Chain A
């Protein structure tokens, strides 16, 4: 382990006020609000008050290359490959895994290459330094990833790696090819200063052939016989072909890096090098090029890869690259590649932890959170818990955003999240006075107490104004109305209105009486129901039976008693409705007794 605090990143904010003492509060996942804390002494205050001005706070955020425009494309494209990889690995037979992983690794690489091209295209109008840094970062990522592909994923039978390594150098270090082109374009190629440099360089990355050894001894023989003594350049070429270490080392300046040197040396000394011997060659190459003092963090990554030390590779990657994208995806690939191998047991846990880090960067971004959730789906229990947390805490700014959150939550069976979001939307609609919308959200959140409260409000409003708020919605509640008694009553009462409007008096009357007798109706609504009964009682054909009439009479009787009692105690709750009712009470009584008489006669005559 490294020393804990000495190696940690130290950052300073240039503000003398905050330098005295400060506190930090974390908001969200990675935002830190820093504010000055300790009181200054009085003397200090006097001397500084003029320059200090108002108190300042600082919002400190971790800033990643991932926020840049160039990274956006990489993030959005790689998620598809990542997801298909997870799905395919699950289904694949053990022997099918390797080609699959190689394919996916190449997909990642081509995405990075596409990004490099984009960066090179967009060199106008942007910060040159940033562009350059971005290009370098992408280049390093691709370089490391392709080496990892050779050394860990696309392992050839027998552990032969040199052919791939030569290709790797050839693709990434184009200096020799460029020199060759330069030299060939001039009129007298062999006179051009770059000519021989190109020849030496070209030879050092030549293709390997099976007849190599025969061929090399042939070279050695000819060299000894002095075939090339007339031209010392040709002699050098021949020495390279013979694997003369000294000659190769003397040409170090032509090679950009120790790995270029290593590959060149191996090609002419030990072309059948096995994977497990590679680290010796790597060490030798580093020593000849200047020793470990001159190695960069990038060199350390590549060296760790040559030494087949996955743990070290990932650790070094974190230091070279300022982004969690790379480590997360590389670890995922390595984990799937080496999942079964012993000695790599840390990989699954490390993979999960690094994917969580990457996902938590994404979910804290206002437009990348959905991508983050997709990664969290494959991060075990912590991933699920984190995506629940994220979905709960996304600001519910508009309806489309709310629907997106609900959709993503229901895809993952996060019922409590949906309920929570709907409940908040319901509270919000209520505070804005949109009762209908509040009911809708209340029903979706299955919140009985809340919908009951809303139903009461709608009924009160009806009593006061004589019309329904958002009747359309209430007419289509369906079975949802059973959520609470008051809501059931409200829904049924709307049904009664519909029947009455359609002229279906018989059913309307039955429903109305059942609403009264079932005691579903809140007491303040009884007068309304009785007044609703009035036209039905007076209809030409009797639609309310004798028994139903008794129910209504019983209700009227109760209401009368309650009203009297309350009248003595103080003013009535619903003044308007009640006074209207008292005026009509005589009317209702008369209609009830008339209807009772008619109903008894009618029922009697039918029976006979």
Chain B
């Protein structure tokens, strides 16, 4: 079963991105209204907007949090990065996406721009930790020409040459890629990559054995397998997002639905839930208080933001078996 509670976003225009901090108790939102807002979870479990700033002349597309270890000085120990629509120092075109590297790789930030360039920034003074695996980054292209081959590229960083080298191209993905994300790896022997393209793809990348030897100059070789391909959205998929344990993938598509995917114990992926918005004419349905905007006005005074309401199942109400 699911419960939901509404949060008044206070943005004057569309929200483009929502990002949770390391602990999940703080959230950043950015919007077409050119502002970035920071939200904290208070003791009653309500999201309260604790900061808001407006420094850009343009929509803010992406917000992302750094690991708390890398941040010092700023009042409460947390810091956010935001990207303008046009013009970071290096980039002349729109920045499409920005992501921090996992903590183990130090403070690294990757951005990609509409010009097709990926930039990786590194803060040099952060302690160099022993790395078990060479850093790896997956890049997807939204080039609409599907004839030009694979659209997802895997690059690996070599500590010896200090260069990023392409080690793999996923030939099965030929449609424009809108989002992609590696799952957090909790004890798996392979990497898991979620891809948003014309459908949802889940790809596993298993390093072959030779890779684990001491020979550091050679590049990794992966055994690439498609663990899932789902066209449930029936249309373009815009975003994919993993949960912290790397067990659930959320995808959002043009059909207006958010779907959750989970693998069973045999690593077979399935859709476990579909969430959709519903336009309601009748607002007297007591079961979903706070669910519609008109109602929240009627119940009044903004207190209902903290209220949970049970989501109405639209089909099979039982839990989906996961095995």
Contacts and interface: CB of A to CB of B under 8 A. Distances in A.
B14 A11 contact: no
B288 A14 contact: yes
Given A4-B230, A59-B5, A357-B322, A26 B248 contact: yes
A566 interface: no
Contact of A381 (B7, B31, B75, B187): B187
Interface stretch (B112-120, B166-174, B206-214, B275-283): B275-283
A212 B127 CA distance: 82
A236 interface: no
Contact of A18 (B243, B265, B277): B277
A61 B3 contact: yes
Which label, helix, strand, loop or mixed, suits the secondary structure of the A interface?
mixed
Given A25-B19, A34-B258, A16 B4 contact: no
Which of A2, A25, A30, A427 has the most CB atoms of chain B within a 10 A radius of its CB? A25
B250 A13 contact: no
Interface in B281-323: 285, 288, 291-294, 297, 308, 310-323
Interface string B1-28: 1111111111111110111101111010
Contacts of B122: none
A200 B75 CA distance: 78
Nearest to A323: B319
A24 B258 contact: yes
B70 to A, nearest CB: 9
B110 interface: no
B232 interface: yes
A64 B4 CA distance: 13
Contacts of B127: 447, 449
A18 B14 CA distance: 11
B68 A23 contact: no
B265 A5 contact: no
A9 B320 contact: yes
Interface stretch (B83-91, B133-141, B266-274): B266-274
A57 B15 contact: yes
Given A12-B278, A15-B278, A16-B292, A297 B318 contact: yes
Interface stretch (A94-102, A184-192, A242-250, A346-354): A346-354
A401 to B, nearest CB: 12
A27 B273 CA distance: 17
A62 B1 CA distance: 6
B150 interface: no
Given A13-B4, A20-B256, A427-B69, A7 B320 contact: yes
Contact of A12 (B20, B72, B184, B314): B314
B215 interface: no
B245 A360 contact: yes
Top 4 A-B pairs, shortest CB-CB distance:
A18-B277, A27-B20, A385-B187, A19-B277
B1 A14 contact: no
B250 A25 contact: yes
B323 A10 contact: no
Nearest to B32: A39
B221 interface: no
8 contacts: A8-B270, A11-B314, A14-B280, A14-B288, A30-B243, A32-B250, A35-B18, A388-B186
Contacts of A297: 318
Nearest to B14: A39
B68 A15 contact: no
Contacts of B256: 19-22
Interface stretch (A46-54, A138-146, A476-484, A492-500): A46-54
Interface stretch (A106-114, A214-222, A389-397): A389-397
Interface in A361-393: 380-386, 388-389, 393
Contacts of A314: 323
Nearest to B294: A51
A34 B242 CA distance: 14
Interface in A68-126: none
B17 to A, nearest CB: 8
B223 interface: no
Contacts of B2: 9, 11, 60-63
Contacts of A27: 20, 24, 27
B313 A58 contact: no
Interface in A228-242: none
A336 to B, nearest CB: 17
Nearest to B125: A449
Nearest to A427: B72
B108 interface: no
Given A12-B275, A315-B321, 5 more contacts: A25-B20, A39-B32, A54-B12, A56-B293, A381-B187
B265 A10 contact: no
A10 to B, nearest CB: 4
B238 interface: yes
A62 to B, nearest CB: 6
A185 to B, nearest CB: 43
Contacts of B165: none
Nearest to B24: A28
Contacts of B77: 424, 427-428, 431
B239 interface: yes
Contacts of B27: 27, 33
A24 B279 contact: no
B57 interface: no
A416 to B, nearest CB: 9
Contacts of A16: 277-280, 292-293
B236 to A, nearest CB: 11
B276 A19 contact: yes
Contacts of A43: none
B159 interface: no
A298 interface: no
B24 A8 contact: no
B312 A11 contact: yes
A388 B104 CA distance: 14
Interface string B63-99: 0000011011111110000000000000000000000
B274 A9 contact: yes
Contact of B276 (A11, A56, A61, A62): A11
Given A8-B272, A423-B69, A25 B4 contact: no
A547 interface: no
A353 B265 CA distance: 6
B254 interface: yes
A37 B238 contact: yes
B319 to A, nearest CB: 6
A322 interface: yes
Nearest to A353: B265
A366 to B, nearest CB: 9
Nearest to A397: B25
A439 to B, nearest CB: 14
Given A8-B273, A15-B278, A382-B187, A51 B293 contact: yes
B47 interface: yes
